[in-house]
Structure 1
């Protein structure tokens, strides 16, 4: 269990320095390097993400990246992919320019499935180098367009962002990695159980299965599953299930015109009133209030 004890002390964030949910239920977040690092004196301390992968594109300036205790110097044209639960940190020069894209795994998995190549997203961190002016121009356009759509509210915004993400992923799949965070860490059995639990949640979150149901499918006890969840992400197994249900509810409330009753039934709730109480307990707002607030943010 050495992996658990060493990793568990590393902060786990939604985004670096944040523990709150994103303001809208997008499954992608895009910002410039300066947006966040400038607030932290250009230094992002080692941390990790559960359920999120990141792609950092350094277009200008210099940086130094830590990937699972290994350090690499970055210069203009470098791109790093950081999978979930990889301990990573950055130190940027004040003149660093580029983008940081954060993707939730439900979206990333769907894009990979559409591309039809599981190797598009590595299970260990990878660094790539853009050494061709034509390739650099294409990536500048893709990352720039992704960021412009993310901060905007144009028609078909989500679809265009996904198209830019697919272009970036395909480009990376065509190039060899310049460096990696080393061979895949030896995953203990507990980590394998936890990973399997996350996969099952993604597949069956709307079925309202109990923690005991998931534990039996994995082949362990519910108590041990909770221990693993606490060790890896400092949350209970039930909290992780509820998080995924809430994410689906938010997306339906914001991006569809479904009534609250229909949303509740789709997510396995037989009583819309109970769904409303559940949602408010998790989010702090009723579904109706959340939908109204999100609509204002997206105006």
Structure 2
């Protein structure tokens, strides 16, 4: 069975809608989603998202591609984008599931240095009860609290707790006995995302990315449709739109400054791009957000 072709492709399990543009992270308790599905999350995969499962208490069966193994809390599991995974939780399980966009994950890894590169294969971290597992639990709990609330400096606090959580995970040796074989297509798709993160503000054509990967544009299009259900151009525009949306929400930059920062030749071009992506002008989008926060 080719899991990459047949496993459902979700943003979050059970959802087919696009990832909210302004959010680069999603955090929830294990119970909040698993209870809706009778504690059984069937095998599926994510496009452009990295997931961390932190099991605080209880036991779960973890499926990674064609392997199944039991984990007992406290434990953590890291799942890179596009890997097929599923969970069967005992009903008394507690813990958290954190889902991170590639853009944010890349920024965290660069900030922490070369030894903090994201795992390229799923990694299991059995944790002994003690200070390290307590620290991970505190980071996850604080991250969940800040994510669910609308406290002042929410974004800064979320990123601070996520950085601490990620640093603690990277310092924990991973169990890699169940590493699935990475396909050449997945390696190319991962490299495309890395190039996109580095170069999205330069407005390169799809052919530029294909050339850097040693692929034809047709082959690159097939890869992104397989792993993300989107064309390369859609992913390029999605990354630009993400950056634009966050600048409009979380900075005081003018439309001209955002346009310049994102590599548009003039604000009118940026406005047309944003209106096509978000359904409204940058100015109207920012006013809507200000009104929503103030109400």
DSSP-derived class of the 2:173 partner: coil
Classify 1:275/1:83 alpha carbon distance in 2 versus 1 (closer, same or farther; 3 Å).
same
Q: Give the superposition deviation at 1:292.
A: 3.5
What's 1:185 paired with? 181
Inter-partner Cα distance in structure 2 for 1:119 and 1:296: 39
Partner of 1:87: 84
- Pair 21,258 (structure 1): closer, same or farther in 2 beyond 3 Å: farther
**Residue of structure 1 aligned with 2:121, choices 99, 121, 124:** 124
Match of 2:44 in 1: 47
In structure 1, C-alpha distance between the alignment counterparts of 2:120 and 2:130, rounded to whole Å: 28
Q: Is 1:282 matched up with 2:282?
A: no
Count the aligned residue pairs.
294
> Unaligned regions of 5+ residues in structure 1, if any?
none
TM-score of the superposition, structure 1-length normalised? 0.89
Gaps of 5+ in 2: none
Distance in 2 of aligned mates of 1:181 and 1:124: 11
Deviation at 1:163, TM superposition (A): 2.4
1:256 positional shift: 0.8
Which residue in 2 is equivalent to 1:231?
A: 226
User: Are 1:42 and 1:92, in contact at CA under 8 Å, matched by a contact in 2?
Assistant: yes
Q: Deviation at 1:296?
A: 5.2
Mapped contact 1:57–1:79 kept (Cα < 8 A): yes
Alpha-carbon contact 2:42-2:86 (below 8 Å) kept: yes
Query: Quick check: 1:67–1:181 contact (8 Å CA) kept in 2?
Result: no
SS of the counterpart of 1:71?
A: strand
Give the Å deviation of 1:99.
Answer: 0.8
RMSD: 2.2
Matches within 5 A, 1:49-88: 49-88=46-85
Question: 1:108 and 2:105 equivalent?
Answer: yes
TM-score for both structures, normalised by structure 2: 0.90
Q: Summarize deviations over 1:144-174 as a string: whole Å, max 9, x none.
A: 1111111222333223222222222232233
